[in-house]
Amino acid sequence: MSTPFSNIYNLFLDSISDYTFLDLDIDVKNSILKGYLIKAVINFKKSNTDLSRNDDTEVFTNDLTEEEQFILSQYMVMFWMIQQIYNINLLRQRMSSKDFKLTSQAQHLETLLKLKKEHRKEIDSLVRKYVNDLYNLDDDLE
């Protein structure tokens, strides 16, 4: 059995609250989701399962565990956050420093940067637990 991309997409969408993203045209949204998923696959180097996929049928060639699907979705969240940070940085470049600091965007950027850092730590922890479980390693050996 193979795992459809939509399983990971749904986990990702459940993790974010970006209503403007949800309002996008379905083709645009799917293109963005596939881009995030490809980046997630590239970053999930420690997967025990071969993450080969068929982009035409939008399925992984192998059946992924729920844990693997969740880890991929969390990598997608991280790449979504990075995109939000880039968008705010573009806004900052268009505004004077003083004007940018006076907007809530400056605070929003700071919050996103902290959130991304924390989220990356959570992903690293998930992957470490995943690898430890695969090889029956004791968490104390980290």
- What distance in Å separates the CA atoms of residue 12 and residue 77, rounded to the nearest whole number? 6
| Range of weakest confidence among 37-46, 73-82, 100-109 | 100-109
- Residue 23 structure tokens: 């309002």
> Based on the structure, what is the number of domains in the chain?
1
Tens of pLDDT, residues 42-54:
999 999 999 999 9
- What distance in Å separates the CA atoms of residue 48 and residue 16, rounded to the nearest whole number? 27
Task: Read off the pLDDT of each residue in 42-68 and give the average, rounded to a whole number.
Answer: 96
- What distance in Å separates the CA atoms of residue 122 and residue 130, rounded to the nearest whole number? 12
Query: In terms of residue numbers, what domain contains 30?
Result: 5-141
pLDDT tier for residue 142 given thresholds of 50, 70 and 90: very low
Task: Give the predicted TM-score (pTM) of the model.
Answer: 0.78
- What distance in Å separates the CA atoms of residue 4 and residue 12, rounded to the nearest whole number? 13
Pairing, β 53-54 against β 59-60: antiparallel
